[in-house]
Amino acid sequence: MIKFENVTKVYARGARPALDRITLEIERGEFVFLVGASGSGKSTFLRLVLREERASAGKVFVAGKELGSLSSWKVPHLRRQIGAVFQDFRLLPNKTVFENVAFALQVIGKPRHQILTTVPDVLEMVGLAGKEKRRPHELSGGEQQRVAIARAFVNRPQILLCDEPTGNLDPTTSLGIMRLLDRINRTGTTVVMATHDDEIVDQMRKRVVELATGELVRDQSRGVYGSDR
């Protein structure tokens, strides 16, 4: 589903590469934790998959397409197959929960009747049934993140990218979010989650990929957060 071949990403000329010759393959339906200190290259990895950045060297394949040769007008179609969730939720404050989720479908031109049936379904799935008319500031952090996940998942993407989705949440709430992500993963969606949260990684026992200063230092199935434990 996602394949990196000797990928290097250098932001500024002469600077240390943010990613250094990474080779990695993630299969369809896998759940992968991306761990490492701040600045280790986790976010760059996710940005490359979303093609917000292009690799400086090497090849990135996502959903069977090589992104380096993908023309920019095809990028929107690539992104429709990828959902993305962030630490800061990125919800629209002046829209209700329903409108925030519907927005993702409206802007890719989905018909109204489809929006009216799929949005309530996905809100039910993330556990927000009955809160459709609330605005983001009336919700708890965990609920806001559920809205963001609903928005990322409403178009049934093949891949879900999560950039520290539990970074702003307390442990109990985080656990609920992880259960939700696990459920989404069981529907066959590939989930890649960058995180600092060792408890969660240790509990979930999924594949762990560790980056350090842009290099791949560990790739372990059913791994834990720290290699020394």
Partner 1 sequence: MRLRFILSEIGIGLRRNLSMTISVVLVTFVSLTFVGSAALLQLQIGKMKDDWYDKVEVSVFLCPATSPEPTCAAGEVTDEQKAAITAALEEPEIAPLVQEIYFETKEQAFDSFKKQFGDQSWAAVATVDDMNSSFRIKLTDPSQYEVVADVVSGKQGVESVQDQRRLFDRLFLVIDRATLLTGGLAAVMLVAAVLLITTTIRLSALSRRRETGIMRLVGASTWFIQLPFMLEGAIAATVGSLLAVGGLWLGVEYLVTDWLGGTVSWIPYVTTADVLTVAPLLVAAGILLAAISSLVTLSRYTKV
Binding residues for partner 1, total number by CB under 8 A:
28
Dihedral (CA of 216, 195, 165, 15) sign: negative
> 110-144 burial, b for 16+ CB within 10 Å, e for fewer?
beeeebeebbeebbebbebeebbebebeebeebbb
Site for partner 1, residues 151 to 170, rule: CB under 8 A:
151-152, 155
Which of residues 90 and 131 has its CB atom nearest to partner 1 in the complex? 90
- The minimum distance between CB 188 and partner 1, in angstroms, equals 20
Residues 109-138 as x/- pattern, contact with partner 1 by CB under 8 A: xxxx--x-----------------------
- The minimum distance between CB 74 and partner 1, in angstroms, equals 10
Q: Give the whole-angstrom CA distance, residue 127 versus residue 177.
A: 10
Which of residues 7 and 46 has its CB atom nearest to partner 1 in the complex? 46
Site for partner 1, residues 11 to 50, rule: CB under 8 A:
50
Site for partner 1, residues 77 to 96, rule: CB under 8 A:
77-84, 90, 92
Do residues 160 and 184 touch, judged by C-beta distance below 8 A? yes
Of 28, 66, 108, 187, the one binding partner 1 (CB under 8 A) is 108
Distance of CA 97 to the CA centre of its chain: 20
- The minimum distance between CB 106 and partner 1, in angstroms, equals 5
Q: Give the whole-angstrom CA distance, residue 102 versus residue 92.
A: 11
- Position 55 contacts partner 1 (CB under 8 A): no
**DSSP, residue by residue, 17-80:** PSEEEEEEEE-TT-EEEEE-STTSSHHHHHHHHTTSS--SEEEEEETTEEGGG--GGGHHHHHT
Which of residues 35 and 84 has its CB atom nearest to partner 1 in the complex? 84
- Position 103 contacts partner 1 (CB under 8 A): yes
Interface ranges with partner 1 (CB under 8 A):
50, 72-73, 75-84, 90, 92, 103-104, 106-112, 115, 151-152, 155
